[in-house]
Copies of this chain bind each other. A is one copy, B any other.
Amino acid sequence: MLITLPSASTEAECDALRERLDAMGLQTRALCAPGRQTLLCYGDPQAVKRASLLPFAPGTTVTPIPQPYVLCTRQAAPGRAVIIPGPTPVVVGGREIVLAAGPCSVEGLPMLRATAAAVGQAGAAMLRGGAFKPRTSPYAFSGLGEEALEMLGEVRRETGLAVVTEVMDARQIEAMIPHVDVFQVGARNMQNFSLLAELGRIRRPVLLKRGASATVEELLLSAEHIVSRGNDAVILCERGVRAHETLTRNTLDIGAVAALKKETHLPVFVDPSHAAGRADLVPALALAAVAAGCDGLIIEVHPSPADALSDGDQSLTPEAFAALVDQLAPVAAAVGRSLATQVAQPVARVA
């Protein structure tokens, strides 16, 4: 429920009420609302019911949660961006479009280092690379695990690139903290609510990918699972949905990007690599995503796609990635944005 205090309420009164609700086993979040204080209060339905009957101060209004998500609406935090502290801070959701690039899987230190250097040079602000890989088949390569985390940490220090990598299990979080700037939740785990709850309790940005058949509303509700636990730094990511087309691996839902920009204050990334499933279509999808208003792209780049242990078909070479960045810049400018990458100074970062 939403509890809106009378406009004359003091912060102390608000805190007192929150303590009382806490004591009843409920969770509360204060909402930004100019001039008035509103509490979002939720938890066990019986406790919510009991709390709704408390003797509130006169002028207090108590209403049901008005739409499926509250904290992720555009109204909840207009204009807010996500800041990735990282080795070099990166602002996501502002005027600049942020590029994350790197291999599907971390396959070893030399290939990771080479890729990171190349994508950083070309303009990426973030390095992607899988350590724990969810694989449809139990017999497929599933990542180098903690060994890969160490490599990501090392290359992070060397290049100054922020690291984004996938977390599959709450028990991996602790080992990831020293090496990882952004915790990615994969499409298959978008509704792994245990994992989302844990990520709501950490102080690191989360990149939440849309499930292959999830609606925009379901994506926002999954984000709300994180935000309602206290972690506001959620970046959404459209990576294609499962429709009927077979020439592409997934169907990039460009309309969802546009709809998300209307619905929520959270930044929106696009993953053209998983959407296309084939390298030759990645540029067109990346250009379309920028034109539609995305705040960033996450792109698979491999020094030798034909030898990749996973997702080689959809990986760009470093050269193709650099060429794509050159194509993206004028489209970003045409829609009043710029690439964050244009100011990247990889050498300076290392120092």
Name A's B-contacting residues (CB within 8 A). 42, 44-45, 65, 68-69, 134-139, 141-142, 168-171, 188-189, 191-195, 212-218, 221-222, 224-225, 228-229, 240-248, 250-259, 261-263, 275-276, 280-281, 284-285, 287-293, 309, 327, 330-331, 333-335
Contact = CB atoms under 8 A, between A and B. Distances in A.
Contacts of A309: 45
13 contacts: A135-B193, A168-B192, A215-B246, A215-B247, A242-B243, A243-B243, A248-B259, A252-B254, A257-B284, A284-B292, A290-B291, A291-B291, A333-B334
A244 to B, nearest CB: 5
Q: Which 4 pairs show the lowest CB-CB distances between chains A and B?
A: A213-B213, A258-B284, A291-B291, A330-B334
Contacts of A191: 134, 136, 188-189
A112 to B, nearest CB: 16
Contacts of A248: 255-256, 259
A4 to B, nearest CB: 17
Interface hub of A171, A229, A250, A261 (most chain B Cβ within 10 A): A171
Nearest to A334: B330
Contacts of A142: 193
B170 A169 contact: yes
A134 B255 CA distance: 25
A213 B216 contact: no
B193 A134 contact: yes
Nearest to A258: B284
Given A255-B245, A285-B254, A228 B262 contact: no
Contact of A246 (B217, B222, B254, B327): B217
Given A168-B193, A331-B291, A251 B247 contact: no
A26 to B, nearest CB: 11
A335 B287 contact: yes
Contacts of A193: 134-135, 138, 142, 168, 188
A255 B285 CA distance: 7
